[in-house]
Amino acid sequence: MGYFQRTPIHYRTILLTALVLASLFLFQAYMHHVVYQDLKDMGEFNWWREAPVPYLNFLFWALLTPLVYTILVRWPFGQRPRLRTLLIHFGFSLAIASLHEVTTSTIYYSILQSTGDFDFADPQYQNWALHALVPAIFTRTMEYWVLMGVLTALENARLRRTEHEQLLELRHELQVTQMNALKKQLQPHFLFNTLNTVSALMDENVNDARRVLSRLGQLLRITLEKTQRDKVPLERELDHVAHYLGIEAMRFRDRLTVDYKVPKDLDDHLVPSMVLQPLVENAIKHGLDATTAGVTITVNAHRHGDQLFLTVADNGKGTSDVLNAMENGGIGLRNVRERLRLLYGDAATFLVRSTAGAGFQVELALPIERA
């Protein structure tokens, strides 16, 4: 990131604001001169003496704004210990104020020297400039804290705007996931296969047929539910997946075995809503649909430290090129990865493993949260 991009708003806005403020201060000085000109015998308004002051001040602060913002981001005021943070900012305020005043004063006196209003060689002028330096640095220090306050407000507004945008994006991703799940469950071949399974079971086992229809109804009810939340207890998420896998297990009969390895004490841990659905669909695709042999899908959950690990694995034929599998057929997996990024940022991880002949495995690591 370039220096002038280290700001909470576009740098051209900062530069324009500096120019407007400088013009307003100059206009104020001019109006003050016009009003009191006769009363105080002030003579003509000297533009070369008056105009550089506000423009040098505000434009130099505009030049320093990315540096001040970088300091704010590096040492935010909410960072603990707060006394240490305040001392750091106090030190920077003195250093930057001194840099500002020395630089702008040198330029200003050079301008006055060129117009004949200042003489660097005269000891009287030198003494006056030195005595004016300390109070001027104090003034610049106060201006630093004003600028820091404005940047803090802008940064907080930027963070709130970013959080709002992420929330909207997250809701969109959840809607996409819900729609994908609904499409999967309402696809003609899925419904046809499910109803065909029910039809076959009616002659063999009526109770199993009723069970499949019940699972299908529950699956559609959960998917069509209007009050979906971003996060749900793991128990509820597993219940949803169990309906889907239960139907597939009935359809594939002896070819599909589902193994759940989820301790009961993890039931109240929060996970992203419908996060397991794409993972088990992926296991069906890379497992059962890619082979005629029997396949076992394992749904595993365990806690380690401050993270919850969710794993969906199959022992199908796998693939030797995971990246290619993700690019060509991993829409659901990519949606899951994007939702994890929006919900948790860098606090969650998404890992895919697969080896030809050794199955396919997706592992999620999430921060611990309880319902």
Q: CB-based contacts of 197: which residues, under 8 Å, 6+ apart?
A: 212, 247, 250, 251
In this prediction, residue 88 carries a pLDDT of 94
CB-based contacts of 235, cutoff 8 Å, min separation 6 = 267, 268
- Contact criterion met (CB below 8 Å) for 360 and 290: no
Residues 6+ apart with CB under 8 A from 228: 174, 178, 273, 274
Residue-level pLDDT at 241: 85
Options 3.30.565.10, 3.40.50.300, 1.10.760.10, 3.40.190.10; CATH of 187-367: 3.30.565.10
Give the strands of the sheet with 295-304, arranged side by side. Answer: 256-261, 295-304, 307-314, 360-367, 349-354
**Token digits for 110?**
């050079």
Domain segments of the chain as ranges: 3-164, 187-367
- pLDDT of amino acid 184: 53
pLDDT for residue 208: 75
- Give the pair of three-digit tokens for residue 301: 């959950």
| Residue 125, pLDDT score | 76
**43 SS3 class:** coil
Please name which of 277, 314, 301, 318 lies closest in space to residue 365, comparing C-alpha atoms: 301
pLDDT value at residue 158? 86
Residue in the structure block whose two tokens are 């900062």: 14
pTM above 0.75? no
Mean pLDDT per block of 10 residues along the chain (371 residues) reads 88 95 92 75 79 94 95 88 91 95 91 82 81 91 95 89 78 63 50 68 76 76 63 89 82 84 94 85 73 84 94 85 69 79 86 82 93 78
